[in-house]
Homo-oligomer: A and B are copies of this chain.
Amino acid sequence: MFFTKSFGYAVRGILYVALMSDEKRKVQIEEIAERLSVPKHFLGKIMNKVVKQKILDSTKGPYGGFSVNNSTLSVPLLKVMEVTEGLEQFSMCALGLKKCDPEHPCPVHYKMEGLRSDLRKALAEDTINDLMIGNKPELIRNISAT
């Protein structure tokens, strides 16, 4: 419920870039890492994956950095999860059994199936844009650790 750090960093990083983008500038990893209190180089690798999956754009060199593209705001959180930690969680048996299916359901199979599909649905419905309602300074404060 229970995501990896990578996922959390990715969501916050993407969101930060999206929130800053109306100012028509690109955002550097240095700034993102500082504002979000996140390890810079580790975040860099995660952002790299995010860019490879076209969730954000990036350019190297002076005046470079990360920026939104025309798909960024409509990206569902499930996609971010896929990019960062994968979606195996949703198919893997909750008790860790190799073989767990309707033929051989583990003791919590059906109950977990329901809860899982609720989570998956929520992540599939929620987009980056949905996380951006409200006023910008407050939103930024709310993704900064301290």
Copies of the protein in its oligomer = 2
Q: Mark A103-127, 1 if CB is under 8 A from B, else 0.
A: 0111110011001101100100010
Find out whether the CB atom of B99 lies under 8 angstroms from the CB atom of A146.
yes
Contact of A94 among B1, B111, B116 (CB under 8 A): B1
Interface residues of A in 69-103 (CB under 8 A from B): 77, 89-90, 93-100
The docked-state distance in angstroms from the alpha carbon of A128 to that of B140 is 44
What is the interface residue range for chain A against chain B?
Answer: 35 or more
Contact of A97 among B2, B98, B106, B143 (CB under 8 A): B143
- Closest residue of chain B to A121, judged by CB? B115
Q: Which residues of B contact A2 (CB under 8 A)?
A: 1-2, 89, 94
State how many angstroms separate the Cβ of A140 from the closest Cβ of chain B: 11
The docked-state distance in angstroms from the alpha carbon of A90 to that of B146 is 20
